[in-house]
Structure 1
Amino acid sequence: MAGESSLLCEEQFECIICTEFFRNPVTLPCGHNFCQVCIEQHWRDKKVRKCPLCNQEFDKSLKLSINTVFRDIVESFKQDYDVSESEKPSGPDQVLCDCCLQSKRRAAQTCLVCLTSYCTAHLEPHRRVAALTTHTLTDPVPNLHQNMCTKHHRILEESSCGQGMVCALCSSNETSSTRGDNKVFTPPSARWLHHWKSLLRCSQH
């Protein structure tokens, strides 16, 4: 199986005998896990019971018990894995998560402060961490980095003078050099945040 779920790899939850997610996993004294049915069938016609991974031998009187804690962990991971499978890109124009390192998932939202698009799993800190909950989130923004100022790494804004998309910081610096540094201006970061919050409010109506 391929894909990525949460921050773990699904191979950690696969039985090497059936290559599927563990079903009623049992843990051998050597520490290796197998599906209960798989290991019992593997040993059925064997004269000596050995671990399929490390070949450690066990007494035939060994009783296998389901590792209920590990079973619950596997079930929880499977639920997250199913969600991540539904987030796989559906087309070439799909906005992808910038944080997925291997199998890219669809972006759920774009953070206009981090300038990053996140899938559901990687967006979770923005729901939980106090410093991130104040960030402005919006629907996934395509070609995000093509709409950024390469100098200040900020999203471009629509010019009030009808000059297209401009960088607030570049515009402010140009205005300051033209009118003198003693003028008082609205901080560019504040204008930028207000601009995107306005767009976000409009998109919700």
Structure 2
Amino acid sequence: MAYSSGPLNEELQCSICLDVFTDPVTTPCGHNFCRSCLNKCWTNTETCFCSVCEEQFSRRPDLEINTTLREVVQQFQDKLKLEKSEVFCDFCDEREHKAVKSCLTCQSSYCESHLEPHLRVPRLKKHTLINAVENLEDYLCQKHERPLELFCRDDQTCVCLSCTEGDHRSHNTVPIEEESQQKKIQLFQTQTDMQQMIQKRMKKIQEIQHSVELRKRNTEKSSSVDLFTDLIRSIER
């Protein structure tokens, strides 16, 4: 499934299948590919090489999944799914208006107009609001049937307030909004690091290509000089 074009999308795109990476692996020369794509390219061949810079490897490299890149791809795909999904207000006639917020307490989604009481009425202001989402039941604790408002960093899972009084009593828990913001910062830093790495690799490739082209020209020039010299010698004889 191809995704809309864009700078980030291109950086997360396998140059073989031209789609977003699936189980990305990194070759010794620093380029990334889908593991399955690379395996297909290297099947029944004696020479393994990079399809980007054409560097050849003396033996077939042992490729490990690039877990950092895989996580970035997953978050990128999740973001696209959120952008493409449409959540409508549960209280508009014929659900004609898109929802801006969902209430985990009420288990309903609201447009700006129907959300107003939640911003004004003291009792409703205590409810837990999140950006509009589908399948609100997924945001309820299956054990306590309370909103999943917290994130347990020890177990890397969302929990409700009742969970913190039981199995997660001594665990490090933070509000989901805080964890979400932290993940966004980490994702941005990872993306920045990847962009810088890609730029360095591209610069290196350009330098190699320039060096190869220069060597080729020198070789051709040398061959021409040798040919001319041989010609002169044959005439002198």
Q: By percentage of residues, which structure has more helix?
A: 2
- TM superposition score normalised by structure 1: 0.40
Give the structure-2-normalised TM-score: 0.35
Higher relative contact order (CA 8 A, sep 6+): 1
Q: Which has the larger radius of gyration?
A: 2
